[in-house]
Structure 1
Amino acid sequence: MRGSIHRFSSILSSIRFYDYDVVVIGGGSGGLACSKEAAQLGLNVAVLDYVEPSAKGTKWGLGGTCVNVGCIPKKLMHQAALLGTAVKDARKYGWQISGPISHDWATMAEAVQNHVRSLNWGHRVQLQDKKVKYLNMKGSLVDEHTVTALTKAGKEMTLTAKNIVIATGGRPKFPTNIPGAVEHGITSDDIFWLKESPGKTLVVGASYVALECAGFLTGIGLDTTVMVRSIALRGFDQQMAELVTDYMESYGTKFAWKCVPKSVEKLPSGALQVIWTDMLTGNEHKDTYDTVLWAVGRAPETKALGLNKLGVQLNKKTGKIIVGVDESTTVPNIYAFGDISQGRPELTPTAIKAGKLLARRLAGRSTALMNYDNVPTTVFTPLEYGCVGLSEEEAESRHGKDNIEVFHAFYKPLEFTVAERDASQCYLKVICERAGVQKILGLHFTGSNAGEVTQGFAMGFQCGATYSHLLETVGIHPTSAEELVKVNITKRSGLDATVTGC
């Protein structure tokens, strides 16, 4: 009897009891998806979310980058710009619009910000409904099972968990070597929360964030310049990137190519004087702006997490967390996914899906891993650009130029005809293996509603779509998307790829 009691007490001492099954640090789209899924599967879950105000003091609620300072407000402001173009087109279609049209920033901003606040509230309600403990606190790791949580007022508490999940995403970077950059500039963390119009704006950078912001600013009638050090849309197909920027230039956005800013100074008038260098000539130039928007990249939110002392391995160059195929870090029981993870797409839908799959694995309900191949995306520039699969450059690098076939077409949307809009940048291409069944490797499309077009074709990639499958698909007429199932001219042929007739 005494021996049995001793064995039982030994078993009890080997079992460690935790406050939670899972603690998620980060209340963005991925962290919320992971925490809600885990709770639905019966786990005891807490999620910590605290947003440090931006350098300009901008702050926001639960939901992360996408909800507050990314996808959602960006798409709504993009829509505001598209409506401006639609009003101009409307006259050609017979609408009697008297007088010049103008845009009021304050009205748009208030409506967008109110919608975002409603989403913040909705997320809080969802967490409560799904029995997830929400803590508006900053989390840092003590060990592989312990998190310290800190409130804005400095109140501290300790949480223990069987598993800790990091999903803190990233924040925009400021250049550190340009005088006045931080003091007088803003980032995408600020632009969507401005109460007043940014006025004449210089956007520094040529990422999708930079081009999307410059696009909607131009679209609502603001004098906007994009300063580009090297190339636009790095990582995307460069032929498509050129079409996007060509359209933007014809749309009214100015570009300062091969230029780098040197300093930003606030003048007595309140205007910002920017001095920059032309990298091709070495000459210096200057101009004044009301707003300077830095879009020069993002940095992962890892510094305050205490990862180094635990031995969680980071990529030295990017600062992101090294993860395995199952989102595990180099320390047991600590996981990371989303923008903070090295080598993962910085996209909301991938973080959401990865978070849900991780929750199912932690709950012992599944062993399925996230598939990061052939993830579709869209750049919401004035002429939208949607893509899925490999760029032409990547396809050439992996398969060799002689082993791929690129089918392409320049097309004119029917809607552009009566409106007499220039369609010279409306283009699509389908990159295939040249031999065998001609498996599709990449699909690219510039045009209206590019996201809606690309989403449907993206499913084909999960099914191993081939060029024959594309041709066997009946198009919907008259649409721009149908041009993808009709494409038959190859780049290799050198023939004119302009679509004529139906």
Structure 2
Amino acid sequence: MKFDYDLFVIGGGSGGVRAGRLAASEAGAKVALAEEYRMGGTCVIRGCVPKKLMVFASAYKGAAQDAQAYGWRDADIGGFDWPHFKAKLDAELDRLENIYRTNLAKAGVEIFNARAELVDAHTVKLSSGETFTAKHILIAVGGRPFTPDFEGAELTITSNDIFKLDKLPKSILIVGGGFIACEFACILNGLGVEVTQFYRGAQILRGFDDEARGHVADLVRERGVDLHVGTDVMKIDKTDKGLWVKCTTGHDHHFDAVMYATGRVPNTDNLGLENTGVELGRKGEIIVDEYSQTAVPSIYAVGDVTDRINLTPVAIREGAAFVDTVFHGKPTKPDHELVASAVFTQPELGTVGMTEEEARDQEPIEVYSATFRAMQTG
């Protein structure tokens, strides 16, 4: 059977772009890629990159305060100009997106600015009305923020919305205890927003080392975030004073904004997967084998849509391994062991390998730790 393309990639994020570029430029494959929004995916457009720039911006206030202790008695950076920063941020995202598009074009990848749905194991239909066939299809559509269903949920925002705000709220409640919630709590606190954080669990940053997460929680509170664990939202009402939040512990309060960062879910809705036999897991993730192949031999999936390790470098590696496997005849399993991760709270947290708790479950171990105050902080 003759196909329109050797590979059709659905999704223009880090994993899909890497796979498309390598398949076209190194393997000589005829490749097309469809992206319904902006090229770059979560990381470039609404995740890692804009968040990191906000992290940098939020650190200057504390740096100015620290400078006063070193003799810079007049060190004062004044108020934060969000519109100015946002304009610079948007320009940088435009620049990066253009690089993605340029590199794809140079590699010979045909780009479709449209949504793609699966018709069958070898056919995709675009929102533009066009239909194409491909020998192989790679799904790399990522994930999206999850907000639970409760009274007033429609009044909340997510991490996707933060970068679109015309102005920063005076006060905000951030609900969640994972790295996204904790990072934005620190960022917005550093930018001068009054931040309250609710987490229903006993301690933030579940899955990280217990000692490390406790240390981060203590310093986050010390730096001004009003952190409440064992606390969840019951309902939200809109009043003339803002958003009235009723919670499980009686810490009811008005806020200008409420942001939910309670996890992410794969973007598998309305993809036409039911037409193919691709299997989904409990969270809606695409089930794949060690080579990123689905239950349908011609269809593969990489990145957050598979809900393995949801990090950009992992998606990139999965995309490259897919190309090695399918187009270079070198079956390659992406290695998901010992993946380093970082949390851009203030202070930052980095980790690789097992936590102390996971190591203890393996065998008896001796643990050594050291705590010290950095010379700069005296």
TM range (shorter): over 0.9
Query: Aligned equivalents of 1:84 and 1:25: distance in 2?
Result: 42
Two-structure CA RMSD over aligned residues (Å): 1.4
1:204 and 1:227 in contact (8 A); partners too: yes
How far does the alpha carbon of each residue in 1:289-340 deviate from its partner, in whole angstroms, 9 at most, with x for none?
Answer: 111001011110001112123211111x211111100000011110011111
Shift of 1:100: 6.9
Matched, 1:331 2:331: no
With over 3 angstroms needed to count, the CA separation of the structure-2 counterparts of 1:240 and 1:38, relative to structure 1, is same
Query: Aligned equivalents of 1:265 and 1:140: distance in 2?
Result: 38
Matching residue's letter, 2:229: W
How far does the alpha carbon of each residue in 1:172-198 deviate from its partner, in whole angstroms, 9 at most, with x for none?
Answer: 01111x11112x111001102212112
Q: What is residue 72 of structure 2 aligned with on the other side?
A: 95
Matched, 1:221 2:192: yes
Matched, 1:67 2:72: no
Shift of 1:405: 2.1
Helix, strand or coil: the match of 1:114?
Answer: helix
Shift of 1:97: 2.1
Helix, strand or coil: the match of 2:367?
Answer: strand
Helix, strand or coil: the match of 1:165?
Answer: strand
With over 3 angstroms needed to count, the CA separation of the structure-2 counterparts of 1:146 and 1:100, relative to structure 1, is closer
Helix, strand or coil: the match of 2:253?
Answer: strand
User: TM-score w.r.t. structure 2 length?
Assistant: 0.96
1:113 and 1:193 in contact (8 A); partners too: no
Q: What is residue 20 of structure 1 aligned with on the other side?
A: 5
Helix, strand or coil: the match of 2:346?
Answer: coil
Matching residue's letter, 1:31: G
Structure 1: gaps (5+ residues): 1-15, 52-60, 279-283, 418-502
Query: Aligned equivalents of 1:158 and 1:312: distance in 2?
Result: 20
2:64 and 2:77 in contact (8 A); partners too: no
Helix, strand or coil: the match of 1:24?
Answer: strand
Shift of 1:93: 2.0
1:45 and 1:133 in contact (8 A); partners too: yes
Q: Which one of 386, 392, 414 corresponds to residue 375 of structure 2?
A: 414
Shift of 1:66: 0.5
Shift of 1:365: 4.9
Matching residue's letter, 1:120: E
Q: How does 1:4-15 map onto structure 2 within 5 Å?
A: none
Matched, 1:363 2:327: yes
Query: Aligned equivalents of 2:75 and 2:299: distance in 1?
Result: 62
2:291 and 2:321 in contact (8 A); partners too: no
1:219 and 1:382 in contact (8 A); partners too: no
Query: Aligned equivalents of 2:369 and 2:377: distance in 1?
Result: 20
Shift of 1:353: 1.2
Q: What is residue 226 of structure 2 aligned with on the other side?
A: 254
Matching residue's letter, 2:346: P
Query: Aligned equivalents of 1:201 and 1:127: distance in 2?
Result: 39
Helix, strand or coil: the match of 1:359?
Answer: helix
Query: Aligned equivalents of 2:76 and 2:348: distance in 1?
Result: 29
Query: Aligned equivalents of 2:75 and 2:339: distance in 1?
Result: 45
Q: How does 1:136-147 map onto structure 2 within 5 Å?
A: 136-147=113-124
With over 3 angstroms needed to count, the CA separation of the structure-2 counterparts of 1:395 and 1:160, relative to structure 1, is same
Q: What is residue 137 of structure 2 aligned with on the other side?
A: 164
Q: How does 1:313-324 map onto structure 2 within 5 Å?
A: 313-315=279-281, 317-324=282-289
Q: What is residue 291 of structure 1 aligned with on the other side?
A: 257
Q: Which one of 198, 204, 211 corresponds to residue 239 of structure 1?
A: 211
Q: How does 1:37-436 map onto structure 2 within 5 Å?
A: 37-41=22-26, 42-51=28-37, 61-97=38-74, 101-150=78-127, 155-176=128-149, 178-182=150-154, 184-230=155-201, 231-269=203-241, 271-278=242-249, 284-315=250-281, 317-342=282-307, 344-397=308-361, 399-400=362-363, 402=364, 404-417=365-378
Shift of 1:242: 1.3
Shift of 1:202: 0.2
Q: Give the paired residue count.
A: 376
Query: Aligned equivalents of 1:276 and 1:392: distance in 2?
Result: 33
How far does the alpha carbon of each residue in 1:118-169 deviate from its partner, in whole angstroms, 9 at most, with x for none?
Answer: 111221111111111111111111111111111xxxx311111010001111
1:106 and 1:197 in contact (8 A); partners too: no
Matching residue's letter, 1:25: I
1:37 and 1:360 in contact (8 A); partners too: no
Shift of 1:96: 4.1
More deviation in 93-102 or 229-238? Answer: 93-102
Query: Aligned equivalents of 1:370 and 1:208: distance in 2?
Result: 24
Shift of 1:98: 5.6
Query: Aligned equivalents of 1:191 and 1:328: distance in 2?
Result: 35
With over 3 angstroms needed to count, the CA separation of the structure-2 counterparts of 1:92 and 1:136, relative to structure 1, is same
With over 3 angstroms needed to count, the CA separation of the structure-2 counterparts of 1:98 and 1:347, relative to structure 1, is closer
Tell which has more relative contact order, 1 or 2 (C-alpha 8 A, sep 6+).
2
Query: Aligned equivalents of 1:267 and 1:296: distance in 2?
Result: 24
With over 3 angstroms needed to count, the CA separation of the structure-2 counterparts of 1:365 and 1:332, relative to structure 1, is closer
How far does the alpha carbon of each residue in 1:439-483 deviate from its partner, in whole angstroms, 9 at most, with x for none?
Answer: xxxxxxxxxxxxxxxxxxxxxxxxxxxxxxxxxxxxxxxxxxxxx
Helix, strand or coil: the match of 2:352?
Answer: strand
How far does the alpha carbon of each residue in 1:34-66 deviate from its partner, in whole angstroms, 9 at most, with x for none?
Answer: 111111121111111113xxxxxxxxx211101
Shift of 1:412: 2.2
Matching residue's letter, 1:156: G
Query: Aligned equivalents of 1:368 and 1:313: distance in 2?
Result: 22
Shift of 1:285: 3.8
Shift of 1:87: 1.1
Query: Aligned equivalents of 1:328 and 1:98: distance in 2?
Result: 56
Structure 2: gaps (5+ residues): none
2:118 and 2:275 in contact (8 A); partners too: no
1:198 and 1:290 in contact (8 A); partners too: yes
